[in-house]
Every structure is written in structure tokens, then in C-alpha cells.
Structure 1
Amino acid sequence: MKKNKSYQMEYFTLFSKDDIYLYQEGTHYRLYEKLGAHLIKFKEKEGVYFAIWAPNAQSVAVIGDFNQWQSNSHLLKQIHFGSGIWEGFISEIEKGMRYKFHIKSRHRSYQVDKGDPFAFYWEKPPKTASIIWDLDYHWQDQSWMSHRKEYMGLNRPFSVYEVHLGSWRQQLDSTNGSLDYRKLAPILADYMK
């Protein structure tokens, strides 16, 4: 974390009235573009827009590396009252910073620190924080994409194999028993031959 950053809180929404309607109806199919943590620019400031659905919350705060995990400094707001969606923008937060949502319930003063269900990146277990990440990756497969129709289709045989990587193969000498993608890839490729 860099010193001398202000990490100021501002409030606005990425949800239109149509978004709220579709969300409440259960037919909003692009929620990953709205909920979670998104690196954006707002009023000439770089930072992160946060949004989470917590309908029974009394308050929601973003905690993380940028505020020493303190739950009293970066409170989100319900801009669309009654939607259960809590939102806010924090300036100067950067890719790679860890965060969670600190949720205080309206019921029996229950409190919990939760990872972001819409996070694009997480710490490796047993740690549980979400990590700010940017998905603006520029793929280098234009050549394949331009010829894909020639190779894909129902007139050729194809094979589909699904596997839950977390439970398919475990590493016995690991403290948490799971392998990461880089370690699993060659093992799974050999298994599938």
C-alpha cells in the first residue's frame, strides 16, 4: 500500500431504474457488470466502485489494505432505497489491494466480514479476502477467432468433459489440500489423453 493516499468516499450509482427492475424481477443477466468491485474513473479520479446486495443490513463498509481493515471509515449507501444494494466509490484504490465487506445486520447486532461474491480474484485458501482486479485483458487469438467457424460445428465430432478442479485431484502434502490451476493443468491434460 502506498502512503499519503486519501482514499476518499463518494456516492453515485451504476444501476439505472431498469437495472433495479430487472434485478428485483430476477432477470438481470449482467449483474457482474454492476455488483462487486470495478476499477473506474469518476470525476477525474481513479478508484474503485463497490456494490453489494445486503437486504438485511443496517450498514455496509468496505474494509481492506487501504484502511487497515477498519469498519468505520468507508461506509456504503443504499442509493436506490429498498433495493438492498449498497454502493460507493473510493478514490485511489488500486489493482491488487485486498478487501472485504463488513456487514452489520439489522437483526440482533450480528456482524460479519464477507468476501465479495462477485470478485474477479481471491486470495489463495485458507485466506479469504477478495482482491481488486481488472479484467481488461486483450486477447491475442484474432487468427483463431477469424477461422473458428471452419473448425466448430455440429458436422464434426467433439468431446465435452466437465470437472470440478477443487475436488478432482488433491495435493496430499499441502496444508489445504488444493492445487492451483498451473499445477493442475499438466496433470489434467495427461489424464484426458
Structure 2
Amino acid sequence: MRYDVTLLTDQDLHLFNEGNHCRLYEKLGSHFLESGSDAGTCFAVWAPNAEGVSVTGDFNGWDNRSHPLRARGDSGIWEGFLPGARAGSAYKYHVISRYGGYRYDKSDPFAFFFQAPPEPGSIVWNLWNEWEDEEWMANRRKRNAGDCPIAIYEMHLGSWMRVPDEENRPLTYRELAPRLASYLTR
């Protein structure tokens, strides 16, 4: 575990402690970084009542002692950079409470991807994408969005449609996407 690679600046910690940080999803959770030969994942979680926090996952055989995170001052944030932890790695935070020394394995509240139930782990996910929609974006700028109609459809993806033949499991995003698009455009 390395502590010299961080996504959290002093300004981030200041805004967080004030309760005014509006982009925490860019700082907390797991963030895969690739820079030349040095690739790995930054992990950061807010655990203000923790005596210790470590990251455990398939990259360390789920050993909750091998990768402890460090506390960032009195912010309650624990962080560290783990070289070699790749996108697709399953992980949890192992939290030791300062009250009674209770130990818990917790999924990451800022994770972008999770294991399918019944597994409770989070998954390191690389959100970087090279977009290829320049033409669409240019045309979008020509329209006045305030004059265009809009429809917002809210739903709970996990319960909208299930697979009865497979123990009533919820659909994956890839399975759900074409069915949902068809349903919404009827």
C-alpha cells in the first residue's frame, strides 16, 4: 500500500470538513489510475468512528490485514493507493470500530459497480471513456433545450423485470438496456 498517491487535496479536505464538497464521487470510493507502468487503484472511504480501516479483496486473498489505509487528519477519511489493483477487482472495506473494537466488512458507498447478489462486494471500475459523439454534441448546441419537451422516467432497475427461470434474479444492465429502450419507446 502506498500513501504518496492521492486524489484528495488539502482543498478537498477543507471543503469536505465544511460539508461543501460537491464532487465527492471523484475523490471517495475506488478510482483506477494508469500512468505508464504504475497502474493501481486509489481507495478512500469516510469512516469517522473507525480505529482502523483496510481494503480487502480478491487481489489480496481477502486478507483484511495486508492493506491498511491511513487516516487523513481529523476528516474521518481513510485512504491509500494499491499498485496492481485493477479494474474488475472485487473488494470491501474492513472497518475496526473505535467503540468496542467491532469489526465489519463493508461495501463501498461510493462504488460505481457492485457484485451481483448474494455477493456483497464492490468492484473497481474504470469510468474513463473516449467519447465519439462530437457531431451529436455540436448539433445539440444549436437547439434551445428550454423549448424542447422532456420526459423523465424513474424506476427501480432491480425490481422492474426479473428472470423467473433463474431463481427470479434481476437483469444485468446489458440484459436490461434493450428491453427498457423497447418498453419506453412503445
Whether TM exceeds 0.5 here: the answer is yes
1:156 to 1:76, Cα distance in 2 relative to 1, 3 A: closer
1:15 to 1:158, Cα distance in 2 relative to 1, 3 A: closer
- Cα deviation for residue 109 of structure 1 reads 2.0
- Cα deviation for residue 176 of structure 1 reads 5.1
Match in the other structure for 2:60 = 67
Q: Say which SS state the counterpart of residue 179 (structure 2) adopts.
A: helix
Whole-angstrom CA distance in 2 between matches of 1:89 and 1:65: 16
Whole-angstrom CA distance in 2 between matches of 1:113 and 1:145: 43
1:63 to 1:33, Cα distance in 2 relative to 1, 3 A: same
Could you tell me whether the CA contact under 8 Å between 1:99 and 1:115 is conserved in 2?
A: yes
1:46 equivalent among 39, 42, 51: 39
Q: Say which SS state the counterpart of residue 158 (structure 1) adopts.
A: coil
Match in the other structure for 1:101 = 93
Match in the other structure for 1:57 = 50
Whole-angstrom CA distance in 2 between matches of 1:67 and 1:156: 51
RMSD: 2.1
Matches within 5 A, 1:122-141: 122-141=114-133
Could you tell me whether the CA contact under 8 Å between 1:99 and 1:130 is conserved in 2?
A: yes
Q: Say which SS state the counterpart of residue 102 (structure 1) adopts.
A: strand
Whole-angstrom CA distance in 1 between matches of 2:114 and 2:142: 37
Match in the other structure for 2:18 = 25
1:43 to 1:184, Cα distance in 2 relative to 1, 3 A: closer
1:164 equivalent among 156, 164, 170: 156
- Cα deviation for residue 42 of structure 1 reads 7.6
Structure 1, unaligned stretches of length 5 or more?
1-8
Please give the per-residue CA displacement for 1:118-155, whole angstroms capped at 9, x wherever unaligned: 11221111212111121111111111111013345222
Whole-angstrom CA distance in 1 between matches of 2:159 and 2:173: 13
Aligned length in residues: 184
Whole-angstrom CA distance in 1 between matches of 2:122 and 2:147: 43
Structure 1 residue 190 corresponds to structure 2 residue 176: no
1:167 to 1:186, Cα distance in 2 relative to 1, 3 A: same
Q: Say which SS state the counterpart of residue 165 (structure 2) adopts.
A: coil
Whole-angstrom CA distance in 2 between matches of 1:184 and 1:157: 25
- Cα deviation for residue 44 of structure 1 reads 6.2
Q: Say which SS state the counterpart of residue 60 (structure 1) adopts.
A: strand
Q: Say which SS state the counterpart of residue 67 (structure 1) adopts.
A: coil
Structure 2, unaligned stretches of length 5 or more?
none
Match in the other structure for 2:108 = 116
Could you tell me whether the CA contact under 8 Å between 1:101 and 1:113 is conserved in 2?
A: yes
Q: Which amino acid aligns with 1:137?
A: N
Please give the per-residue CA displacement for 1:39-75, whole angstroms capped at 9, x wherever unaligned: 2258963211111110001110110112110111111
Segment drifting more, 182-191 vs 30-39: 182-191
